[in-house]
Structure 1
């Protein structure tokens, strides 16, 4: 009985459908890697940095491997669980030099083998040196295929580099023949003699090899069982911009492991490019809203991208993602650490639930990241080393069903897990450095081995201890014979009965069973060997024998246990905590099925559950893991305390600013009592601190719908489910009415109702109640819409109106109301009554009153009651001492005119009084004021005559304004340049009525003339005078006109022959003029005499030099015949008198030098001194 319960539980928890080919992971026991040709980096001094290769190995438990290549043998290498261990392979043994390209190189493959009986491992390769870096995931032997397409990129040329795309082929089996199909349609064969032989196809013409493909020769012996590995890339290239370059290197996935859906996650803070490659004609690709048709071997290359996206196709495709050259790789197109790299993405359908990866920091790698794509619903289950990530998950815009995150890591080894499958890549960046590779994958396989657990009917790659197991193999073809051998047991013939399993691509696979079961009692590895004979079934594989050998483990059953709190309440969330163990190192539990005993289930690890009823419940848990076994079912009993059913009564509609009552109606099962009530009124007001009230009132201060909730609590601390009601708080009506204006003699007072509901309408108003404040009178209350009442006595009354709407909300308003007495008296005063002018407003002041009670409610004023009895103004809300103004028409005669003003005052419609008063209105002057012509500022005072009074009224007049003198004249020089207002005022002798008008006058400036006061001209010469004027548009006149070039220009040329004073008159466009003078001096030529007689007779006692006085700076030097200077003078104010230093010079001939110092030539000659 228990056995069948276990089976049912296992089917619920671990469903498995054998509908498609089984996937295999990147974990295995046999791997082949290569070290292809690359362009080395160089230091600034030209030193070449040769690359090295490092192989990283990880495992989930623990294992042991040996790495070989050429003459290199690492010996056994221990691999601890969840740790990345590396092995450096010597360059001399592994590197493919460019000279060996395009030829078979024996024993050049890097071989990684797990020691027999040890656990599977995952392998990664990192090539690094200087500013060069590239990495790849390495696939195990069972994931290798028989056909590959090359994925590369546009090859550029750099001086001194190899500059080639490459496709490297590695034989995994001896005697393997491959056919390489070139893109031009030609092909050639590659015959490998031994496993580990390598062929690097690297044409020297910078050809982009993307789209060429390689396959096992279908005509070769045993071709169906031949496998090989393929790698592609570039020796180095740049992507998107110049500046630096890096090699590309990735292991290719066989075509059977391509998919139809890929998630593209951008490199963090960087741009990327993708390339999509098809393996069949008529393939349709969907990408970012674009439909892309591709044929076999065709590819599509995107532009530079920054967003995540999904790539889908109707047939299988391969997708590569490229990082850019550092100079342009940032998301904004600028420089950021990195360089070209290529990573082959895994299809979404070949995701993994766990993987161990490495992240290298070799060769200046400073930033290391993991990109993860997973279903949005499973993001919370993703963990690294057992800890949930704290990065943000972002939905993919084109399909929010999936989300991605970008995680920065520091550890060399990381263990990634999730409850659902995910796709991930690991990558790193440094200064002109990069690498990227798949973090793990499942790959399609058409030949694989499975163990069927007969208890759970679940297929896996392992057996469970103590549980009966069956064995089966899935093949891509029918067989003629099959035998089975378990460990060292005998070879047993197997049945040829089979089950046909259609694959996703429409091809068929065939399932064969061992035919007997086995129950294992020890936890250890076992080996099963399956031999088959192949018929020629038209698949291209020849008939013959094949042998398959698989290692599987016997796993322990998980240990199941869980915890929950001791005290528990109904309707309260209870935390259940898994305490189970997988009992397999490095493989945690990832399957849970909880049965809470109330008809509900959960598959979470640590669920929270609410029991809706009290009493005992039996909770059951079974645990397991994808690649392990499932546990027994563990039952535990949980007791749930008495249930509280909460409820309360309250009106569903309430009124704003009015108390609303809530009454508790909760019930509790026997054994408990309610002691606390937790109310929340839904309006963000503080929750009551007194939680012991079962009846409460609450006042809402805003309109709307409010969710009122109540949670009750028992004495044992159990709380109920939240009970809620929606309360609608409506607006109060807005009462309003108009007070009538009446006196006690009026018939009735009518109160106009202007009330509205909160929405501004009257449709929902339900009732009205009037209280007219006339206590004891008949009809003091009324329910009418508009109120009416007869007041018999004057006095002050308080009127109240209460309005209620359809929701039952009501509000009221009161207003004081006065019934006026009948004894009203009309009266007013006239302001300035004795001096009223026809051109001024007449102002009256209201002094009307009601002598008993009340006020005047209306005034009617007739300002010309005799001549215009039908014209009046009316004030329905007069105020005592309020003023009223009126302007009478202008008078056309010089005589005063009387008018009658009449006022009627009302205290009610039936109560009024009339008061007339006669006023005398004096005529006002009528003024005519003609325009004043513009004047010049230097014209002098002028008399203004442009204004006059025209009605003939006797009075006084005057002009005022800037520039008006005491005698009434206008002085432009006082007013200044510009526009000025001149006001003419006329005041009548009779009554002092006054009128004034204002006109402008413009004062124009005179020009400002700047010229020298003196001008010097050499005799016989000419000179132009430099003159400037402050205005333009002027006319000019020089006088006299003799001795100048022109007398009507600003700056003429002078050539006068004698000294003379000239006058310049400048006149502006407005006619304003001014004059300035210049003294023109004509400088004569110096005329020295040739003799003088300083003998004291008063005649020729000094040496005369004619006209030298006009040369104020001239110098005079006189020398004797010996060349001695006997006289010097600056200017010639003291002439030469024949003495030198107070002593008479002897008679004789002397010599002079006169320098005019004005540009004229020096004058020299002889002088005779005679006594």
Structure 2
């Protein structure tokens, strides 16, 4: 149940410090990114004493780490950049920050400042700011960017100094596009009216400083600062620092001046982190840890109707509608029915009410509500600026005293029960004056402040706190247990309810923004209905149940963002995001062992207990099967693969589940296959086998093979063995393959039909010899198995090949040729067979040149033959004197072609031809009438068409050439000139050259009549 947290949880929570940084946002003062401004200080330009004290202040940062850290301090917009390597469990002070020149980052007036201090670390660190110099000192704990909020109220003190001393606050933008509404309680130095809101726009890292008018008694407390939607439509988180250029704090706040005064600057908590319960304890004096002084207190309210009680008595006298104020020298208990913030003050030295000999000037602390108490902090103390005593004042439940360690020690200088809340104790430790880092750790949550006191000097700050949004509280309900728990175990399903003091119009739980949770799906509930109401610390909370069950996979503390929308929420969007923290305790541990096996074998699982307080629950084998009976089961998988096997155990006292998941390899069997030859040629009997073994579809890089061939021969191990069979037969061939320790086999039968006799190639020529140009035919005489496919490969001796059964070819040169045939019969190749063939040349025959004769004339033919000719003859024998002499006389009446055919001694025949052309007479007209009447319109020379080479030239009576045509008398002359002009009627003279045997030039005249 909620109050039944067992001891192992406490131990676990102590370990969360090193887990949070990697598994969840840690909403404390520890972080990786910070901003701070160089707050306005009277020493900037004021001579406070007889000596010149102008700009004598210094501002430094104390970088504190519990693991090695690399921290960069820079001033964006300038060249200033310093890198500090902080060893684990140490603190380093930085160099003083720039206060002059181009890198001057001081806030000197009201308005916008762009040169501000940026701190970035590679791991979470704690940072404190300290400003000191010339009897002035003030410090603040810095908050990281991740805990910045949207709404703040300035928390100052009354300004009891004048003449250049200001009550102020400034806003830091953590992101671009930031728009801020500022409602000052007083009129500002630059003239902004009291209680009248104005807006400013800021970029990332920019600061806007607001200062009250320079009047004694001014106090900017209660000024409201709120982030509005920026130019991008979003609200952006901001930080707010409140302070004073210099002020005195009197016991009687109506007395101005007197006593000491000091610079102050403290970073405020966002309103979302305010609580409803605070425990206070007065600070010690320099007279000793047990000697306490009266302190001042302010209780700030967001709503003026908030009821605030001090030790059960309601406070009255609300000032500026913002805060209650009282003084106390005792430890008090402050409660409220709405969130509040509490400030604690040390008064000035040498004022009424201070003990004689008690040193220390004004200081201001923002206290931690009990709801934000913490169990581990690191901080820094120092002696800068005349500090004489350092103290830690801490408040913790009595139950946590035994585990409380300060720097490893449980010894304290003062300790007393808290007088106003039973069960709590105040402890005080005087810290060494030597500057050093300190660590506080406990199994119980505490609050603490640290401070240093000297002659008119002091510093102080909150030692550390959670800075979570307190608008929502989770209720964790493990599914296997009744009731509500403070934690949930990893790998154990749970349901979740949310308590909030809002009555929202919608809730969105952002599981998608959390690591290691299942399911990681956001849940939105519109107009949710509360399942219960509860009063916690005087505040009514409404309970809303979140549907479904969830489970974290690993331990840690997880920040779960919850968006709450409610019209009463006082921010820009009437909604806010609350980060609720869910502690997840690592469940019990267990282990198991199993050896990889092949898919055909059973895997032996062996349970290995680790957590003695847990026992076996079940096995999940990753294939959809479970076993809740056998602690050490045997399991046979049906298919190979990697299976995520989960062994689950359970712890009885809180029902937490624990498990271990291991990937178990079930190795696949090789898929065995091989190929055998389709045909084995005999008598060689060679058979080549080819393995086709695969593993998951690919050939294994390493495998062991064993072949047996069915004929009693030795085993082969090659991938592609060649085996020789002595005779035909049926043989069982077996391949055994082993891959990665897994074995399988395959047997195939090599049938007798696979054995084939070697073919015999043979062929014959269609003749014993061939004449040039004669087609040579080849006849195939090979012996083959007709049942098997056969292919032929011919080499014809002339560079040609062929693959037909009986090819033919024509040889281009007379000589002897070697022809080769190779036969492939079902894969069996014959020996090649080669035979020669002779090709003889043709006889030379020439019939002579063509001749032209006139009709009635004769021509003697001029035949020639080579010496190897044994006979010849002219054909046809028409108008020929003889057909068996080489020079016969031809007298054809019309043109005739004669052929001379000769045969040589090997019987090769050749022939040639000659044309005897017989020409008719040419008849030339001497007149024509080109008048277009269709009668005698052209000069048409009969018979000239037989003379293709004829030339005609026509001249006028003056001897001028008017028309010429050469070798183109296909178109008679129409009486026009060569240029197409119409020639006049008259007599024209011509020269006709037939350009043929027997004809010379023909001349005459022709008359054109028009």
State the TM bucket, normalised to the shorter chain: 0.3 to 0.5
TM-score (norm 1): 0.40
TM-score using structure 2 length? 0.46
